[in-house]
């Protein structure tokens, strides 16, 4: 295995906040950063050495990124297959393309978990309205219909509560495959962020508890309020997925706990929003472990503070946050995005505490209107 040393260049596909936080972790260690993204002055370009402005599936731009990078990684899973194969053929993509192919497609992802004997919510794959009707007859209401690929933050999802919702999907369906799955009565949602190095060593961050609003991540809290049994089950299942996929780098798996049982939801082959708390709450962040894995450095043993909470800052929260900065005891992260659309992730804040109660006392007032 080729160790990439400080002074060498890490190429990042995608220039959003995840790329930016990967880049800042890498910059601390002395690496140079090249980023490929279509947007001028995007969050990662602001902290990178080289910005190649181009579309993510632009082969010429990918070749330019490859030419100036010693190793390449990505900040999103929807990497074009030709582009990932190109970097792989150059020996510059230690993460490989299997975990990309599986995690960018909900059908493959659910199938992969099932094949590994990991429980998933009841589901059916559908292509026509007739099949949606059949699926609902088998699964029952409430259910959720999701596009097979391309969805994030609840985009591309339709909740099916009753027959009226079902009829409404008829006109909204476009050609292609969808997944219809049982909408579970959720006790809690948790995620396991971990890193696997190129020798197969695994390092797990504390399991985090996530609260979503309108299917968008609102807060992440550690430690999660899980029974020991649930925690062990999640660790065991996550380890199976990591081995089967041959994961390299930081990776996240989302789990539902419903009526005491654990279900696989989805996975992300990259650092994850629910792992941002690791920047301040752990001695090593999900981003630094990721950089270590892809450059061939050993992973660090993780130590963490007793309690932490991360709160996402959307466009509509940025002004209230900025107006109260002089009063709140929070770690501030702003991604440097120019356009503050109401539902766009603009940054996050993290609170560290000696206990969950201590963290709760420090919660900023603006988060009540989230």
> Residues interacting with ligand ADP, by CB under 6 A?
121, 144, 151-154, 181-184, 186, 189, 212, 215, 254, 265-266
Contact at 8 Å (CB) between 363 and 304?
no
Contact at 8 Å (CB) between 47 and 23?
yes
CA distances from 5 to 111, 289, 298, 301, 338 (A): 38, 15, 12, 20, 33
Q: Least distance to ligand ADP from the beta carbon of 360, Å? A: 22
Q: Is 315 exposed, middle or buried (0-12, 13-18, 19+ CB in 10 A)?
A: middle
Say if strands 345-353 and 331-334 run parallel, antiparallel, or are unpaired: antiparallel
> How far, in Å, CA of 19 to CA of 76, rounded?
9
> How far, in Å, CA of 363 to CA of 47, rounded?
30
Q: Least distance to ligand ADP from the beta carbon of 153, Å? A: 5
In sequence order, what DSSP letters do the residues of 229-267 get, joined into one string?
HHHHHHHHHHHHHHHHHT--EEEEEEEEEETTEEEEEEE
Longest alpha-carbon distance in the chain: 60
Say if strands 9-13 and 71-74 run parallel, antiparallel, or are unpaired: parallel
Question: Where would I find the beta strands (DSSP E) of 98-176?
Answer: 123-126, 143-147, 157-160
Q: Least distance to ligand ADP from the beta carbon of 345, Å? A: 12
Contact at 8 Å (CB) between 255 and 192?
yes
Nearer to ligand ADP, 197 or 266 (CB): 266
Burial 79-103, CB ≥16 within 10 A → b, else e: bbeebbebbbeeebbbbbbebbbbb
> Tokens in use for 244?
């089967």
Contact at 8 Å (CB) between 147 and 125?
no
């Amino acid at each position: 295995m080729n160790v990439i040393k400080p002074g060498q260049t890490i190429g990042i596909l995608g220039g959003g906040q995840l790329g930016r936080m990967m880049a800042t972790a890498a910059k601390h260690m002395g690496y140079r950063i090249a980023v490929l993204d279509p947007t001028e002055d995007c969050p990662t370009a602001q902290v990178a050495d080289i910005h190649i402005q181009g579309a993510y599936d632009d082969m010429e731009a990918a070749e330019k990124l490859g030419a100036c990078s010693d190793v390449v990684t990505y900040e999103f899973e929807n990497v074009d297959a030709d582009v990932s194969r190109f970097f792989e053929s150059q020996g510059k993509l230690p993460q490989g393309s299997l975990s990309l192919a599986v995690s960018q497609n909900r059908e493959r992802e659910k199938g992969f978990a099932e094949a590994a004997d990991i429980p998933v919510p009841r589901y059916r794959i559908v292509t026509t309205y007739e099949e949606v009707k059949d699926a609902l007859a088998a699964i029952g209401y409430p259910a959720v219909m999701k596009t097979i690929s391309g969805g994030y933050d609840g985009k591309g999802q339709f909740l099916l509560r009753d027959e009226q919702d079902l009829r409404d999907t008829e006109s909204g369906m476009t050609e292609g495959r969808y997944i219809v799955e049982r909408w579970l009565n959720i006790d809690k949602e948790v995620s396991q962020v971990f890193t696997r190095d190129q020798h197969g060593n695994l390092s797990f961050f504390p399991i985090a508890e996530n609260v979503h609003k309108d299917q968008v991540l609102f807060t992440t809290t550690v430690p999660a309020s899980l029974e020991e049994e649930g925690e062990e089950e999640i660790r065991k299942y996550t380890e199976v997925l990591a081995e089967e996929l041959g994961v390299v780098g930081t990776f996240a798996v989302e789990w539902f706990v419903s009526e005491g049982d654990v279900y696989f939801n989805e996975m992300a082959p990259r650092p994850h929003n629910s792992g941002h708390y690791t920047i301040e709450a752990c001695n090593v962040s999900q981003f630094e472990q990721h950089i270590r894995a892809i450059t061939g450095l050993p992973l660090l043993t993780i130590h963490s503070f007793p309690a932490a909470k991360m709160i996402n800052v959307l466009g509509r929260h940025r002004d209230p946050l900025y107006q109260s900065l002089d009063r709140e005891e929070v770690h501030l992260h702003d991604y440097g995005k120019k356009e503050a659309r109401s539902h766009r992730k603009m940054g996050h804040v993290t609170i560290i505490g000696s206990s969950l109660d201590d963290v709760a006392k420090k919660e900023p007032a603006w988060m009540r209107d989230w």
